Structure 1
Amino acid sequence: MAYVTGVLLIALTLGCIAKYLLDIGGATAFVTVVGIAHGWLFVIYLIFAFDLGSKAKIPVGRLLWVLLAGTIPTAAFFVERRLTRELAPLVQGSAEPVGA
């Protein structure tokens, strides 16, 4: 979900630039469709990220960063990759929770 949210946010950002700064008329429909899709998928991203954070016992500060990463273009890619590396041993059952 982090990758989907990140890609849609980048597309939405580029669409807004095309619509408002470059005044491209066809960008209005694109921004509308991508904006709605990003909004709904961001809510799903928040649910999944919160669920993962509570199951992995991620500290609150780090969990907030994960939740906010979907609002900053490209941040979701870096946060997801780092969290995946940290949680890989936990998924394999050979480590303690991240917050421990």
Structure 2
Amino acid sequence: MDRPVGARLLAYRIFAYVTGVGLVLLVFYAMPMKYIVGDSRPVAIIGMMHGFLYMGYIVCALILAERLRWKPIQALLVLLAGTVPLASFYAERKVTHQIQERERKASQPSQAS
């Protein structure tokens, strides 16, 4: 891997966490408040927040996908993770470990046979 991704990975990780927290709040707090209590304000506020944060998540994920030359299906799965509660946390861990492993392998001196 000849193209470093440090700052891009950090931005992706931040957006993955923030998007995940926003979606958890939307699904497990705001939606019950709307349908059980009848207060739709949390859905309007948290839903809008999650929408804007998800756009940032998409941008960061696509930049990483381009930089790391992901297959389209991998990029799509990472993008969809921002729409499923708790999935963005899983995707973030998976992507981070994948990148760290690639960087570790790239930094090791090659063994000549």
Shorter-chain TM-score tier: 0.7 to 0.9
Residue equivalent to 2:44:
32
Which residue, out of 5, 25, 33, partners 1:18?
A: 33
Amino acid paired to 1:2: A
Q: TM-score, normalised by structure 2?
A: 0.74
Give the Å deviation of 1:43: 0.6
Partner SS state of residue 106, structure 2: coil
Give the Å deviation of 1:89: 3.4
Structure 2 residue 77 is the aligned partner of structure 1 residue 62: no
Give the Å deviation of 1:73: 0.3
Structure 2 residue 54 is the aligned partner of structure 1 residue 42: yes
1:9-40 per-position Cα deviation (integer Å, ceiling 9, x unaligned): 010012112211x1243xx2221111111101
Name structure 2 gaps, 5 residues minimum: 1-14, 108-113
1:44-99 per-position Cα deviation (integer Å, ceiling 9, x unaligned): 1101100101101111111100000000000000011011000113446717xxxx
C-alpha RMSD over aligned residues: 1.6
Structure 2 residue 102 is the aligned partner of structure 1 residue 87: no
Amino acid paired to 2:16: A
Residue equivalent to 1:3:
17
Query: Following TM superposition, where does structure 1 have runs of at least 4 consecutive aligned residues deviating by more than 6 angstroms?
Result: none
Bigger CA radius of gyration = 2
